[in-house]
Chains A and B, each alone.
Chain A
Amino acid sequence: MIGRDLLGIERLERAEIERILDTAEHMREIGTREVKKVPTLRGRTIVNLFFESSTRTRASFEIAGKRLSADVINFSPSTSSLKKAESILDTARTLDAMDPDAVVVRHAEAGVPQRIADVLAAPVINAGDGAHEHPTQALLDLLTVRQEKGCIDGLTVTIVGDILHSRVARSNIYAFRKLGAEVRIAAPPPMIPCAIEALGVKAYTSLREALEGADVVMALRIQNERLAGAYFPSTREYSATFGIDRAKLRFAKDDAIVMHPGPVNRGVELAHDLADHRPGVILDQVRNGVAIRMAVLYLFAGRQPAEAAR
């Protein structure tokens, strides 16, 4: 790994991504043993600094750290800095004085892990920052597709949903493009970000066209609380035009797989049966999540590289 931190996929090279995936393959095997633990990070401290609550991702990092025998500490400062006297950087500086071996940061606002990495000596792992990036999610998505399809080069990946507000979309766009796939996005027009083509994807407002010949269909969660009425009129209409179900899947390749970062709004962006049965592969994604996070912790924690590229 070249850099000290894992802030996003945008700055990773293809070889680094493949290294993480290969390492994760080996980590998966540990989950099949009876004693699901190796002593590799024994005595090391991993801090989960989750400004935005997230049971799933935090649990996944916690299990990953514990399987590597690390001591995992969970910090959940109150969501808004405005409520506290302590700024985010003050929290980070306080943490730094405790000498953690890695800090996993999740925040509702973009750019926070980067600012924290600037003041922290420890490696920073981005567990999701606003609408910017969610690198471990993209890595586990890559791993899942690689397991299903063998190789990413030449595949067509279609990402459907609220691209504008989605860090999963951005990270996956970088990830799949770097490994040689063609990436398409499909969304109602208000949710297609400005100049998204500059990231190397083709934007579609017709789901059918976007699905033609797709090998991988990735459905994103619709935040109905926040967006219905503003960016699209109703979940009913969203589901009818952009929701993924078996009928719409017919436009994709016969062996296309369906993915979702979770949690699923059943019946909205994804039909019930696809959430539970093949060609949906959501549970595989979750399993791979622990393996990827173990690989990331193994490769980044406690590292003092000769040239810490930031």
Chain B
Amino acid sequence: MNRILLRGGRVIDPSAEHDEIADVLIEGERIAAVGRGLRADGAEVIEADGFWVTPGLIDLHCHLREPGQEYKEDIGSGGRAAAAGGFTAVACMANTHPVNDDPATTDFIIDRATHDSPARVYPVAAATKGLEGVVMTEMVALVEAGAAAFSDDGKTIMDGGVMRHVLEYSRLVDAVVITHAEDQTLVGGGVINEGAVSTRLGLRGNPPIAEVVHVARDLILAEFTGGQLHVAHVSTKGAVDLIRQAKDRGVNVTAEVAPHHLVLTDEATAEYNTNMKVSPPLRSEEDRDACRRGLVEGVIDAIATDHAPHAQHEKELEFSAAPPGMIGFETALAVVLDLVRSGELSPLELIRRLSTHPARILRRAGGSLAVGAPADVSVIDPARSWIYDVAKSYSKSRNSPWDGATLTGRAVATLVNGRLVYDVERGILI
């Protein structure tokens, strides 16, 4: 039996509210023991002194582009990039070609992941057929096939009646409906946040109210139907306020925020850099600060990268034509550690939002180092300084705004199902 001892690290387990120096012993595919001075004859020892040892990070929201757009990413390359970023599991969205709206495609993704990806892959199936926002998908069959949640992400379900029925029907399964909440009629073709920057740049603006109005609608529908709503990539103060009020009222809602919305504002697009073009767009300082506060307070439950690879020739189009999105697996940790460095979040609270809460939202095991839990572990050096060279990324795409930047904080080892799949010296190992 395979045994690994992670020795002397700062073990941070939000599920047990533990944050202390300890050893972690893995036997086979499970956590066998956590404690001080553990003996481990014959075990492979990983010295974790100076590092954090946490439940594996789980990314609630990413795009792996397979099937159909393998030129910019596939489940193998995406999985490797995720593991290199410290993620032991990722949930991939359904806007592939074909759309993941039936069990066969869900099967395909799971099968591919088993063979190609070092990280676990949980498919998020479409909520409506073809992402067309009209006919709901076979949720029962999809969950049986392995879908972890439902979402039309990439698009918005604009028809209130359809969203109502999707939320109602979803009560048959224990899965969240993830909403990309942007009223497209208010987005009005906007490609950047509507504000002083869009006025200066002469680009069509997407006003914050497009998100706020739609979050309001979806929250009321969630409350009305009793379905389980999860709000993807929150970016505005208005949305944070509404979610806070809804939670206070007892509405069954969770929410996530992306690393870029926690640190960047629309000023970052002032040079028409298409790597800064994301959906929803980078917002004002006020919105960014509200998202940070929302994450700290727990109004926003989780951090999700929205890793969205695009090929160079796609991003080299004029700003309004370039597809939105940035890759994010390998930089997420360094970026969000900013909230620990600033004192806004303790390490325990950060890991809760990166692991424990995502596991709960996806109804999957994870986020815990309890004895018997699956041995998905991230070993993190929060103080390591490194320069991100996107040319060396495991992703097939290069659309990152942090290329060449000096970052602080990095995953130094990633274990999935009891196996070391990545370490920072040797890279991906399987």
Which A positions have Cβ atoms within 8 angstroms of B? 10, 80-82, 87-90, 107, 109-112, 114-115, 129-133, 167, 170, 193-196, 198-199
Contact = CB atoms under 8 A, between A and B. Distances in A.
Interface stretch (B75-83, B289-297, B317-325, B360-368): B317-325
Contacts of A194: 194-196, 198-199, 205, 207
Interface string B306-341: 000000010011111100000000000000000000
B289 to A, nearest CB: 18
B201 interface: yes
A154 B320 CA distance: 38
Contact of A195 (B196, B317, B319): B196
Contacts of B207: 194
26 contacts: A10-B200, A81-B321, A87-B317, A90-B313, A107-B318, A110-B202, A110-B319, A110-B320, A111-B201, A115-B316, A129-B202, A130-B202, A130-B320, A131-B203, A131-B204, A133-B202, A170-B200, A193-B199, A194-B198, A194-B205, A194-B207, A195-B196, A196-B199, A198-B199, A198-B200, A199-B199
A10 to B, nearest CB: 7
Contact of A112 (B195, B200, B318): B318
A109 B318 contact: yes
Contact of A167 (B202, B204, B317): B202
A109 B321 contact: yes
Contacts of B196: 194-195, 198
Contacts of A88: 316-318
A130 B203 contact: yes
A109 B320 contact: yes
B71 interface: no
Contacts of A133: 202
Contacts of A87: 313, 316-317
Given A87-B316, A114-B271, A195 B199 contact: yes
Summarize B's interface: helix, strand, loop or mixed. Answer: loop
Contacts of B317: 81-82, 87-88
Contacts, number: 72
8 shortest interchain CB distances as A-B pairs: A132-B202, A111-B272, A131-B202, A195-B196, A109-B318, A110-B202, A193-B199, A87-B316
A290 to B, nearest CB: 25
A119 to B, nearest CB: 9
Nearest to A81: B317
A295 B207 CA distance: 40
Nearest to A134: B202
Interface of B: 194-196, 198-205, 207, 271-272, 313, 316-321
Name, among B202, B207, B271, the residue most crowded by chain A CB atoms within 10 Å (CB to CB). Answer: B202
A82 B271 CA distance: 22
Nearest to B204: A131
A198 to B, nearest CB: 5
Contact of A111 (B199, B205, B313, B319): B319
A91 to B, nearest CB: 10
Nearest to A169: B202
B320 to A, nearest CB: 5
Nearest to A80: B321
A243 B207 CA distance: 29
A89 B319 CA distance: 12
A132 B313 CA distance: 23
A194 B196 CA distance: 6
A132 B201 contact: yes
Interface-centre pick from B201, B205, B320 (highest chain A CB count, 10 A): B201
A81 B318 contact: yes
Contacts of B203: 110-111, 130-132
Contacts of B272: 110-111, 114-115
B321 A170 contact: no
Contacts of A132: 201-203
B318 A111 contact: yes
Contacts of B199: 193-196, 198-199
Nearest to B315: A87
Contacts of B205: 193-194
Given A10-B200, A112-B318, A132-B203, 17 more contacts: A80-B321, A87-B316, A89-B316, A109-B318, A109-B321, A114-B271, A115-B272, A115-B316, A130-B202, A130-B320, A170-B200, A193-B198, A194-B196, A194-B198, A194-B207, A195-B199, A199-B199
Contacts of A89: 316
Contacts of B319: 109-111
A82 B200 contact: no
